[in-house]
Structure formats: structure tokens, C-alpha cells
Amino acid sequence: MSSQSLRARGKVPGFRALLIEKRPKPYKQLAAFAKSADFGDVQVEARNQDFRKYTSEIVKFVSAPPSFSFVFVDPKGWSPVKVSDLEPLLRIRPGEILIDFMSSFIVRFLNRRATNMDEILGPDYRDLRTLEHEEQEEEAVRRYCELIRIRGDFRYVCALPVMKPDQDAIHFYLNCATRNAEGVRVFKDVEQRTEKKTEVVRATLQQRKRANLDLFTPDVLYKREERYRRLSTRSKTNAENALDSLISGHESVPYDDCWAEALQYPTVYESDLRGWLKSREDYGSIRIEGRIRRDAVLKRKSNHIIVGLQH
């Protein structure tokens, strides 16, 4: 929603943006954009710096009250995502951070013996070298998210896989760290829309390679990527296991907590969670309290409670 439309509704938003780029040529483009976007209630500033050397200035810039900071780190290579460099930004309150994690690039360096990734994957990262490629990549993402969670004292960290446009492979992950469940909801909405948009884009590219099948529309020809399918299968299994552990470890668990735990996993949505809980209720391993009737749809902020039952 634009600032003009908000102003028409009687709201006058204040927005400040700090854009940082180290390389001179891209910086010139960024500076031109900042100049064109800086007007009225929107203040945009561009700096030609290595952000890792100016984190204290960044923190000062975004911390002027009343404010809520959103930090986006889009690095070139793997070194700029070291958690020690990001830590001042991770600790900003209130705030969220989105980090572009080039998983395919990082895994390539991970397997080089001379590379040290303590500040990206934790001190035990070397045991990842024993995993197969896909599981190695997914575990690397999980460990990075966990490191971000701990160092920034975040409650939730979600990961969104982004496929390469013309290959059956994951290009990178967008990792979002937030301290509020509402941040998870917004991120999962984006993930679901991105998933659908990706299918259209990749279907169009596939269609162009099939000149003799032009009678069909892209969505008819599209075949979901095997890589994405395998990731989704493992992710849903991991989320389901995490849900079981959460329920078994407590006498009762609010549905909202189950929702937040499960939806942090890539490709997992609320429909998955509801299906898992229904199957457990039908089996008799849980009881769901707080509903008016048994077939009522489980929802956040509705005081629905999941109670584990002993067998």
C-alpha cells in the first residue's frame, strides 16, 4: 500500500530507509534510486560502504523511537552472512531481519577443507560433510537459522526456498527472523504466493522449450520440480515430528504454539497442521479443547488447546 493511499485514509506514515552497497558501480544506481524515492514522508539514504564496518551506525539509524526496524541483508558470497558480523543487527528491538542465504554457494565452500564456517553453521559444521548433497544443504539452512535465532534472541526463524528459474535446483533461501507470530503469518503468506508464482514462471520457461506443444497452456505442461518435492516431503516430516515432541513435552499446548512451531518449516502451511492434528484426534492420541463443536476449524487466537493423551 502506497503512502498516498494511506494518507487518503487519514494515516500519515513515516518511513526511513538506509541503503548500503559496497561496490562503486551498483552504488551509483542505488544512490540514483534513493534520490528519486526521497520525498515527503519517505526518507531514503544511500551509502557507499561495507555494512559490516558500520553496524553501529546502522543500529543508531534504525533505533530512533518510535520505530520498528526491518533489515534485509542481500550478500554477494558467503562471508557477509557470518553471524558475528550480523549480531548487532540481530539484536535490534523491536525489529525483524531477512537474510538472503545462498545455500548452493555455501555448500560448495562447505566441502572445502580450508574453509571455516563456525560463524555460519556453528562449531560442529564439519559433520555436515558426511551428508548427501540435498540433506547437507537443508541441514546447513536449519543450522544457520538456529544460530540466528539464538544470537538474536528470536522466537521464530522461517526459511523460504527459491528455485533456480531454469533448473531443478534451489538457488537460495530467504531466512526471516521475528519475535512475533504475526511475522510468521505474513512470511508464510508471501511463501505461498511465491510458490504459486514460481510455478507460473517455470511453466512458461518449460513451454518455450517445447515448440511442438504450444497448444497447451503453461499450467497444463508444468511438472513440479522433483527437488522441491523432496524438500517438501522431508520438511513436512520434520515439522510433524517437532509437533509431536512439542505436544508430548507438555500437558497441554495452545493451538497458536503448535501453529508457530510447524509453520517455521519450509513448504508447511496451516492446512498441513490441521490435517496432522485431525489424524491424531481421530486416532485418540490428543484431545482438542476450546471448540464449540468437533468439526469447527482450528484457528489462531481462538483459545483452542491441544491436550496429549497417554496410551
C-alpha closest to that of 243 among 219, 283, 206, 270: 270
Residue 55 has pLDDT above 70, yes or no: yes
Q: What is the pLDDT of residue 217?
A: 54
Q: What is the pLDDT of residue 67?
A: 80
Residue 213 has pLDDT above 90, yes or no: no
Rounded CA-CA distance 311/72 in Å is 47
Q: What is the pLDDT of residue 211?
A: 55
Residues 225-229 have a mean pLDDT of 85
Residue 6 has pLDDT above 60, yes or no: no
**In Å, what is the CA distance from 263 to each residue of 42, 138, 191?**
33, 16, 11
Residue 134 has pLDDT above 80, yes or no: yes
Residue 72 in grid coordinates? 534485509
> CB of 173 within 8 A of CB of 160?
yes
Q: What is the pLDDT of residue 271?
A: 95
> CB of 107 within 8 A of CB of 133?
yes
The band of 277, judged by pLDDT with boundaries at 50, 70 and 90, is: very high
For the entire predicted model, the pTM comes to 0.84
For CA atoms 238, 240, 242, 244, give the dihedral sign: negative
Segment among 172-176, 201-205, 265-269 with least mean pLDDT: 201-205
The more confidently predicted of residues 210 and 237 is 237
C-alpha closest to that of 253 among 277, 284, 282: 277
Average pLDDT of every residue of the chain: 87
The band of 10, judged by pLDDT with boundaries at 50, 70 and 90, is: low
All domains of the chain, ordered by start, with CATH? 3-158+168-179 (3.40.50), 238-308 (1.10.10.10)
Q: What is the pLDDT of residue 214?
A: 53
Query: Among all chains, which residue has been given the C-alpha cell 534513493?
Result: 34
- The share of the chain scoring above pLDDT 70, in percent, equals 86
Note the pLDDT tens digit of each residue in 161-202: 988 877 788 989 999 999 999 999 999 999 988 887 777 766
